[in-house]
Amino acid sequence: MKILVCISHVPDTTSKINFTEGDTKFDTNGVQFVINPNDEFGLTRAMWFKEKQGASVDVVNVGGPETEPTLRKALAIGADTAIRVNTEATDGFAVAKQLASVVDNGGYDLVIAGRESIDYNGGMVPGMLAGLTEANYVTNCISLEVDGTSAKAIREIDGGKETVNTSLPLVIGGQKGLVEESDLRIPNMRGIMMARKKPLTVIEPVDATNETSSAKFEKPAPKGDVKLVDPGNIDELVSLLHNEAKVI
């Protein structure tokens, strides 16, 4: 089985976010970038298929040279090869087209992507990728088993879970639950050293039109002041909730 894991290069959630050029550009100064958490769950599941079923695992990112450390981390975790499509990822459909070209040229049986990235939270790329490659698609995936060309997936739905039987080729939008958090892997020194020798191929993008653009960014409004009430002063608490917060 040949697996491709899509890797997004996203800011760490602890980073302080700022914008420049009149709030039209994201300021990357001082920001630590990481593998998108949903993608990390998918990469860990792909490593299970590699170790248990002998699958090969490639990783791919659409982005500039600044994303290569993130790809190298994926290689250190255990991926066999990495591919970087040399163009900025600014539009979901354009990214899906770049990934579709990689999938078509690579002959992959299974494509594992995160259901969404934690920067733009678009949640659109995996579905469009499945459509462009005419593959089956399961999103919000929290469990995946593959037997030959057959696959069994469990996905979250409103109010519960759904079990889906499908077949390869398959694209999934993975998320937390695809593996346990305790199963996520931290690259060790041996993995880091081996990653330096693994191939990281840079390919030029195919023609793709950006269907969307970001006009302006805005930070959430700051939180208001907090009033602390003595635990024993129930009357004051009720008064504040009734007269100021107006929630009762």
pLDDT of residue 244: 87
pLDDT of residue 221: 86
The model's pLDDT over 22-59, given as tens digits with 9 standing for 90+, comes to 999 999 999 999 999 999 999 999 999 999 999 999 99
Are the C-beta atoms of 97 and 127 separated by less than 8 Å?
no
245 pLDDT more than 90: no
> What does DSSP assign to residue 78?
T
226 pLDDT more than 90: no
Instruction: Average the pLDDT over 154-174 and give the result.
Output: 97
Q: Return the structure tokens found at 241.
A: 């909730």
d(CA 153, CA 145): 6
d(CA 1, CA 179): 19
Q: What angle do CA 52, 57, 61 make, to 5 degrees?
A: 150
What CATH architecture is 2-217?
3-Layer(aba) Sandwich (3.40)
Cα→Cα distances 90→129, 171, 194, 211, 214, Å: 16, 22, 32, 10, 8
pLDDT of residue 68: 96
Whole-prediction pTM: 0.88
d(CA 115, CA 38): 7
